[in-house]
Amino acid sequence: MKIVNGDKLIKFINGKWQGRACPMCGIGKWVVTDKIFELREYNDGNLVVGKNCSVVPVVPIICENCGNTIFVNAIIAEAVEEK
């Protein structure tokens, strides 16, 4: 099972984010989730499971003011670890 290494994720985000405000509302109060989600390749509305479908693991970062959600690729952020 894969889990998010919160320390690595926060370190990555702090290095890249540099205190930016939300692009939608201008407020900068963000919440980082501790779960990994999947973005699946669109296949004309059909669910494709297995090797024929591309999946991107992401960690959502949510603006507490307006709900705007930004996804960070969990692999590029090196935040994915074995449990």
Residue 78: per-residue pLDDT: 85
pLDDT of residue 1: 59
Place of tokens 């501790």: 34
Q: Mean pLDDT in runs of 10 for the chain (83 residues)? A: 76 85 90 86 77 84 94 88 68
Cβ-count burial 38-57 (b if 16+ within 10 Å, e if not): eeeeeeeeeeeeeeeeeeeb
Model confidence, pTM: 0.77
Give the pairing of strands 30-32 and 55-63: antiparallel
Contact predicate 68/31, CB 8 Å? no
CA 43 centroid distance within chain: 22
